[in-house]
Amino acid sequence: MAPPNDSPTDHSQLAAATRLVTLGRPLRAEGAPVGPPIQLTSTFVGAGPIPDPHGHPGYGRPDNETVGLLESVLASLEGTADRPATATVFSSGMAAISAVLSDLPTGARVLSAHSAYNTTLELLTDLAARGRIELIRQDVSDTQACREALLSRAPVDLVWLESPTNPLLDIADIAAISSAAHQVGATVVVDNTFATALIQQPLTLGADVVVYSVTKFLSGHSDVLLGAVLTADDAVAQDISRHRRVHGAIAGPFEAWLALRGLRTLDVRLHRQQETAQRLAQWLDGHRAVRLVRYPGLPAHPGHETARRQMRGFGAMLAADLDADARTAEQAVRACRLWVPATSLGGVESLIERRRRIASEAEAVPEALLRFSVGIEAADDLIADLDAAFSVLD
Ligand SMILES: *Cc1c(COP(=O)(O)O)cnc(C)c1O
């Protein structure tokens, strides 16, 4: 749904940081509210046909104005002037991911990373076990191996990428893999949750569909669960919107409003967060109890050059393999005072977690790997807190 906006500015000429603030607002008119009200209704007055020829929603499952405002801001971050994107917001990241995957034809061949967000892998494995898809697992940081898997075997229908991957922070060369995928007619989907559109734009790099857990950086305050699918392909966008209407996983208006409010500050949050992440990565790199720091901003990271090419900055997620057993690594987590021991990521508060505590986490993830989601606290405080907590590793 197009947002009402008669502000005098042509938004497409504005920087993303500005659009985050200006878009998704009520019509600018004397006496109008500056912030959007939350449209709390399940249904709408009307006796005419649904869908309504004038674009009125008719009912709350197909569409909601507050959800539409959030979609308009997300779409503006992802699209370009000549290839505008459409956003469809879902009730969680997994609902968005599931919408993309469940529209695949039976028997579709899907190439995905060895290690990626654990619940995405769980869903892919489930679909394969039930004979819905054929799953090919690949190390997505190995571009040559991906090219060979795509070009030398039976055609793949869908390539599922994350970059950086969760939680190993591997980097996939999105442009190179997309171009090989398109040679065999495959659709490329990128889960861009870790980077967000401010840091990386998969559609511009050649991908066809972008998915988000809006729960994370986009909302930014660990108070909401939401997801989104974005694409510049109108036919795909229509399928996804229809999927949401039929399967029913639309977001609640209050959640959409919270995300919209969070989005206003995405640019400032992310800049601060990734600046601290870089400092933290360097500090961890010099720590005696750390075996390996996984952060694409470190020149020694195997994906550093690719990340420099396809990202603006390196994001605010990092991981470290400790020289410790799982129990001791968990003691270090519990010893933190400022870092919150919790799963999830992308909020203003810094979170720390031993990933393998999650039963469904991939075996490729080391037992003593800690994942860090860097918040907006002062970097010195965050480092001092870890320094004290890591004394249990001596
Ligand atoms: C959290 C996450 C998801 C799932 O999103 P939910 O909003 O929790 O359903 C998907 N992909 C990545 C990379 C994530 O971090």
What ranges make up the beta strands (E) of the chain? 86-90, 108-113, 133-138, 158-162, 187-191, 209-213, 227-231, 290-294, 317-322, 340-341, 351-354, 369-373
Q: Is any atom of ligand 1 closer than 6 Å to the C-beta of 92?
A: yes
Active site residue 295: no
pLDDT of residue 144: 97
Active site residue 394: no
Residue holding tokens 């870089």? 278
Q: For residue 248, how far is its CA from the centre of ligand 1 (angstroms)?
A: 19
Q: Is any atom of ligand 1 closer than 6 Å to the C-beta of 213?
A: yes
The active-site residue, picked from 25, 132, 216, 355, is 216
| Residue pLDDT, tens place only, 234-264 | 999 999 999 999 999 999 999 999 999 999 9
Q: What is the pTM of this model?
A: 0.96
Secondary element (H or E) of residue 12: none
What are the CA-CA distances from residue 245 to residues 62, 90, 135, 249, 251 (Å)? Answer: 5, 10, 28, 8, 11
Q: For residue 216, how far is its CA from the centre of ligand 1 (angstroms)?
A: 8
Q: Is any atom of ligand 1 closer than 6 Å to the C-beta of 88?
A: no
Active site residue 191: yes
In the beta sheet, which residues pair with residue 229?
88, 211
| Residue pLDDT, tens place only, 90-143 | 999 999 999 999 889 999 999 999 889 999 999 999 999 999 999 999 999 999
Active site residue 279: no
Reduced to 3 states, what is the DSSP secondary structure of residue 361? coil
Q: Is any atom of ligand 1 closer than 6 Å to the C-beta of 65?
A: no
pLDDT of residue 50: 87
Residue 3 confidence (pLDDT) above 50: no
The Cα 94–Cα 15 span in angstroms is 30
Q: Is any atom of ligand 1 closer than 6 Å to the C-beta of 353?
A: no
Q: For residue 194, how far is its CA from the centre of ligand 1 (angstroms)?
A: 9
User: How high does pLDDT run on average in the chain?
Assistant: 95
Q: Is any atom of ligand 1 closer than 6 Å to the C-beta of 193?
A: yes
Give percent of the chain above pLDDT 90. Answer: 90
